[in-house]
Structure 1
């Protein structure tokens, strides 16, 4: 019995001396500031309750940018923010967009977990070589939303073949994985 008592006492002493202080009440712990950028990301707006992910272009790479907003944007608003391009601070960081002139967007709607982007016909001679970046910006931005798993592009209600990062044409649906080769790390 004494051996069992000695083992119990030794166990209590070991646990009491493990370096973890005891408190009478729980301590408040503050979370570190976030979001946490990964290589190839930038945070342009530190204020706001909601984080909006946008993909822009720098040095032939898609770069993830986080903006902080007071309200969570709808999918239509989110796409409108992307189409508006980088703000002044983002442009000062060397960010640009491939969207103007490469891809025109007429609208977007959610069908289940898929964003369907309407792309009107292009004017002859308006094609650009950075079209893959434009489609990559849209796909990566929209699939960064929790409710969007994939993106499809439609023209006159029919699936549109668009370039993936590997140069192949596909009618989708597309995910960020289709453009991972274009993702940059600074």
Structure 2
């Protein structure tokens, strides 16, 4: 019992005053590096969401990958619909645009293994727009950013469609992000 009194006496004399009621404590300013992080390394910005969705938009006539944090991995068609919806207000405020409206009338996307078939609507009239290559690049770079997609093929009326690549050539073959590498810049 004498040892317990000594411990109580030491704890009572540690200089921390007691309070009658709990009080709120504000967290110190952060962000703080995660455990194991090297000091001086930038801490990534954390955004709500459990999955990262990559969309390719246009800025200064170049393709730029934009990451959005979403609750779950979207289907191929849902991700394409997000791309077709265009940049958010915040993304537009930082200079992002899209070449898709009016350039490429997308009707549907169908995964077939690691390839996605994209059906284009419309009568097949060429738009003559100079940014068509950016529009096709946006679709290809967005869909091939997924881990389950390697290539994209475009169809109109069930027939493979020749689409422009970054070098200006037309291709009916499956396209990959490498076909537009000359147009992609880091964010």
The TM-score, its normalising length taken from structure 2, stands at 0.74
Q: 1:165 to 1:125 in 2, by over 3 A?
A: closer
Other-structure match for 1:113 = 114
- 1:125 CA drift (Å): 6.6
Other-structure match for 1:184 = 185
Other-structure match for 1:98 = 99
Distance in structure 2 (CA, Å) of the matches to 1:179 and 1:47: 30
Contact 1:101 1:127 in 2 (8 A): no
Give the aligned CA root-mean-square deviation in angstroms: 2.1
* Higher deviation after alignment, 122-131 or 143-152: 122-131
Any stretches of 5+ residues in structure 1 without a counterpart?
A: 1-27, 36-44
Any stretches of 5+ residues in structure 2 without a counterpart?
A: 1-33
Q: Does 1:163 align with 2:164?
A: yes
* Secondary structure at the counterpart of residue 95 of structure 1: coil
- Listed one character per residue, the Cα deviations across residues 105-134 of structure 1 (whole Å, up to 9, x for unaligned) are 000011111010001234647331100000
Other-structure match for 2:47 = 46
Greater radius of gyration (CA): 2
* Higher deviation after alignment, 141-150 or 121-130: 121-130
Distance in structure 1 (CA, Å) of the matches to 2:74 and 2:159: 27
- Report how many aligned residue pairs link the two structures: 150
Q: 1:160 to 1:49 in 2, by over 3 A?
A: same
* Secondary structure at the counterpart of residue 116 of structure 2: strand
Contact 2:124 2:156 in 1 (8 A): no
Other-structure match for 1:29 = 35
Q: 1:141 to 1:126 in 2, by over 3 A?
A: same
